[in-house]
Amino acid sequence: MKTKKNDPFQHLKDWIENGDSALEVEMQDELDDTESQPLPKEPAGPQKKLFVLDKKNVLKRLNIWYAVAAFAVCLALIGVLVYAAAQLPKFGGADTLVDSEVTAFYVENTMEETGAVNIVTGIILDYRGFDTLGESHVLFIAVCTVLLLLSIHGEKDEEQKLKADAYDRHFEPHHDEVLQCCARLLTPLVLIFGLYIIANGHLSPGGGFSGGAILGAGLILYQNAFGYKKTERFFTFRTFKLVSLCALLFYSLAKGYHFFTGANHIPNGISAGHVGNILSAGLLLPLNFVVGCVVACTMYALYTMFRRGEF
Amino acid sequence: MQLWQNIPLFLIVCPLMCAVVCSVLKGKAARGVMAALSALVCVGMGLVLFFSARMGESYAYPMGAIGAPYGNELRVGITEGIVGLAFSLVIFLSVLGGWRKLKADVPENKIHLYAAMVCLLTSAMSAMTFTNDLFTSYVFIEISTIAACALISATNKGRTLYGAARYMLMNLLGSGLFLLGVSMLYCLTGHLLFPQIEEHVKMLLSSRQYLTPLSLSFVLMTLGIAIKSALYPFHTWLPNAYASTTVASSALLSSLISKMYIFLLIKIFFRSAGAQLFAEGIGDFLFMFAVVGIVMGSVDAIREHHLSRMVAYSSVAQIGYIFLGISLGTEAGMAAALFHILAHSAAKSMLFLASGKLREVSEKGDGFRNVRGAGFRAPLAGAAFAVGACSLIGVPLLGGFASKIFLAQAGIELGGWRMAVVLGALAVSTVLNVIYMLRTTLTLYRPSGRQEMVKSPLRKDVCFTVAILALIALNVFLGVAGGQVMEWIHRGIALFV
C-alpha cells in the first residue's frame, strides 16, 4: 500500500479506480491499524510506478464510460416509466376501466362495519390489518438493526463508551436559554397534539403512525434542550424495551385474535360502539395507541443511536 | 373451518411475537427461543403439508371476518406445504449448524438481536409462502430484506459491513422496482389479491387494452425479484454478502432468502396470469438471462480462489437454473424450478456450513492454499462438502442430479430451439461445475503435511454434527426419492394455479 492518506474520500477514489480489491486491502489495513501493527511498506520503484500510472489512466477512461452508461440507463428507465405512466388510466376519472368494486365497498361499508369515520384507518387497521401488522414490525426490525450496528449498550470496552461520550459533548448544548425556553413551551403542546392525533385516528385524518412521529419529535426536542440526564428521569433504555415489548405483543395478540375469530366465524365480542365517539370503533383505538407508542419509541431510539449509541 | 387450517396463521404470528420477546431477553435465553421456534415452525409446516395432502385440495384462509377481495387472504395447499417445510428445515439446520460459530462471531450483548432477526425472517418466510396478496408480499419482502442485512452485518467487521451496505443498496433497488410494478398493476386492475388480479389481467389481455403498462408492471416485478435473488447481471452484491459473514447467516441467506423471492415470482406468474403475458416475449428475455447466468456464474466461480466466495458464486449459477425452469413457462418447467429450489437449498446450506468449519480448522482464512488438507482435519465437514459438491455437479442419487434430469425433461417436452439451448446449457454448466467443485474437493483432500498442527475443534460440536448429518440425509433423500417428491409437487401444482 502507499503511504497513509488524510483525504477522507481516498477510499472511494481507490474503489472507483481499482475496484473492490483495493477497498478490501484498505479495510484489512485499517483492521491491522487498530491492532497497532506497522504497515509493511512496499518499495515503489520508478518502473512499478509507471505501470500503476498507466493502469490508472486506462481505468479512468473506463470509468468515464461507466458513468456515461449509468446515466444513459437511468435516462432510459425514466423514459420508459414516464411513457408507461402516461398510458395508465386517469386517476379518479369516470370512464376508467379500473374495477372499483373494492373501493366502493370500502366507502359504503367501512363506517358501519368497523365504526371508523376515517375510512383510511378502518382499511389499514381492519380490512388490511395483516399488512399493517407487518408494517409495524418493519419499524421494529429497523430499530433492531440500528441497535445491532450502533448500540454500545452492554459493551465491555469502557474506552469506547468514554469516546462516545466525548464525541457526544459536541452536540449537547449546555443551558441554551433560548432553546430551553422554547422547549419548555413547545414540548407539552407537541406531546398533547401527538396524543390528540392518535386518539382521534379513527375519527379524523391521522392515526398511530403520524401521531407517533409527532410524539417522537417532541421527545427529541426535549432531549435536545435538556440533555440526557433529565430525559433519563422518565425515558431510559428499559422504558423503551418495555413499551416496545408490550405494544408489539398486544398488537400481535389482538390481531391474531381478530384473524382467528374472523376466519372461524366465531363472534369476537368486540362492538363498533357509537360511531363518532372517541371510545368507539372496537380495536381500532387501542391499536392506534399501540402503533403510536411503537413509532414514538422508534423515532427516539433511532435519534439516540445515531447520536451516541446509547440512551 | 377445521382447527388445523389455522396453523398457517400461527406460523406467521408466533414468530413475530417471539422476535419481540427475543429482543428484550438475555443472549442465552434468546438463542433458546430462536432454536425452539425454528424447530416448532418445522413441525407446523410438516402438519400443514400432512393435512393438506390428506385433504387433497387447497383452501383460502381469510385474515379477518371479511375475506377476499376486500381483506387479506392466505392460500394453503400442498405446494406451499412442501416449500414451507423445506425452508423451515433449512432455517432450523442452519441455525443449529452455525450455533457454535455464532457464539464466537456475534458479540454477547448483540446476540439477542440476532435471534430476533432470525425469528422475523422465519415469520417473513411463512408469510411469503402462504400469502395470496401482492402487497402483503411486499411488506414481508421488506422485513426479510432488512433482516437479511442485519444478519450479514451482525459480525460487525470491516468487510462484512461493506458487504452488507452493498447488499442493502442493491436490494432496496429491487424492492423499489417491485413496488413500482405492484402499484402499476393495482392502477390497472384495482385489486391486490392474486385471483382477482388474474381475472382482470385476462380481461385486459383479451381486449388488448393498456398493454404497455401491463407488461411493464410485470417486467418491473420480475426485474425487482431478479435483482433481489441475484440473477446473473445483478449478482454483484452476492459474494461479499454471503462469504464474509458468520456461517449461520450465509447458510440462511444463500438457501432461503433468494428462494423466497423466487417462490413469490412463481406465484405472480402462475396465479396472476403473468404466464400468458410471458408467452408474448418476456419469457424469452428471462430465458436468455438465465442461460447466461448459468454459464457466467460458473466461470466466476472457477476464477475464485477462496472457498466460501467460490460457493457463493456457484449460487449465481444455481439461481440461473431456477429461473431457467420458470422461464420455460410450462408446468413441467415450474415443477423443475420448484424441485431445484429444494435441492439447491439443501446442498447450499450444507456447503456453507461445511466451508465455515473448514475455514475454522485452517489457519489464515479460506484461500485455497490454506484449506489444503482441511478435509483430514475436519472429516465430517470435508465429507459434507464433498456430498454437496457432488450434488451440485449432478452425481446420481443426490438432489442435484434429480433436478437436472427434471429440467432437461421440461426442456425436451417443450422442443424447438429452447430444448437445444436448455440441454446445451445443462451440459456446459455440468462440465464447469465439475471443474470448480472437483478441484476444490481435491484441494480439501490434498495432504498438506501439517494435519497435526491444527487439532480439530469439531469433536464436541454436537449441534454441527447433527445438522450436517441431517442435511446429508436430506440431500440423499431428494436424490433417491426425487420422483416421489416430484409427484407431490405436480399434485400441488394442480391445486396451485
- Cβ–Cβ of B157/A31 closer than 8 Å? yes
B165-198 core/surface letters (b: 16 or more CB in 10 A; e: else): bbbbebbbbbbebbbbbbbbbbbbbbbbbbebbb
Contact A152, A310 (CB under 8 A): yes
Q: By percentage, how much of chain B surpasses pLDDT 70?
A: 96
How confident is the model over A91-127, as pLDDT tens digits?
766 656 555 777 888 888 877 777 778 888 888 888 8
Report d(CA B302, CA A69) in Å as an integer: 28
Q: Which residue of A has its CA nearest to B201?
A: A98
- Cβ–Cβ of B66/A262 closer than 8 Å? yes
In this prediction, residue B65 carries a pLDDT of 78
In this prediction, residue A35 carries a pLDDT of 37
Residues 6+ apart with CB under 8 A from A23: A11, A14, A15, B162
pLDDT over 90 at B492, yes or no: no
Which of B17, B72, B213 has its CB closest to that of A88?
Answer: B213
Instruction: Label residue B40 by pLDDT band (50, 70, 90).
Output: very high
Q: Which of A10-19, A214-223, A286-295, B453-462 has the lowest mean pLDDT?
A: A10-19
Which of B69, B113, B140 has its CB closest to that of A144?
Answer: B113
Domain ranges of chain A: 10-87, 102-307
In this prediction, residue A2 carries a pLDDT of 41
Q: How many residues does chain B have?
A: 497
Between B146 and B232, residue with greater pLDDT = B146
- Cβ–Cβ of A102/B216 closer than 8 Å? no
Residue B170 at interface with chain A, using a CB cutoff of 8 Å: no
Which of A27, A147, A242 has its CB closest to that of B158?
Answer: A27
- Cβ–Cβ of B110/A151 closer than 8 Å? yes
Mean pLDDT for chain B?
87
Nearest-10 crossing angle of helices B194-207, B158-189: 60
Closest CA to B194 of B295, B72, B105: B72
DSSP string, A2-63: ------TTHHHHHHHHH-HHHHHHHHHHHHHHHTTPPPPPPP--HHHHHHHHHHHHHHHHHH
Between B388 and A63, residue with greater pLDDT = B388
Report d(CA B405, CA B394) in Å as an integer: 9
Residue A248 at interface with chain B, using a CB cutoff of 8 Å: yes
In this prediction, residue B255 carries a pLDDT of 85
Mean pLDDT for chain A?
77
Shortest Cα distance, chain A CAs vs residue B441, angstroms: 26
- Cβ–Cβ of A99/B190 closer than 8 Å? yes
How confident is the model over B296-352, as pLDDT tens digits?
989 988 988 888 888 888 989 999 999 998 888 888 888 999 999 999 999 999 999
Chain B residues inside the 8 Å CB shell of A298: none
What average pLDDT score do residues B174-198 get? 89
Between A301 and B278, residue with greater pLDDT = A301
Residue A148 at interface with chain B, using a CB cutoff of 8 Å: yes
Residue B177 at interface with chain A, using a CB cutoff of 8 Å: no
Chain A residues inside the 8 Å CB shell of B202: none
Q: Is A154 left (phi over 0), alpha (psi -120 to 50) or beta?
A: left
Instruction: Label residue B388 by pLDDT band (50, 70, 90).
Output: very high
Shortest Cα distance, chain B CAs vs residue A51, angstroms: 24
Residues 6+ apart with CB under 8 A from B64: A126, A127, A129, A130, A258, A259, A262, A263, B71, B72
What average pLDDT score do residues B239-254 get? 86
Residue B234 at interface with chain A, using a CB cutoff of 8 Å: no
pLDDT over 50 at A158, yes or no: yes
CA angle B224, B225, B226 (to 5 degrees): 90
In this prediction, residue B83 carries a pLDDT of 92
| Identity of the residue numbered B216 | L
Using alpha carbons, list the distances in angstroms from residue B420 to A8, A138, B291, B412.
53, 46, 12, 8
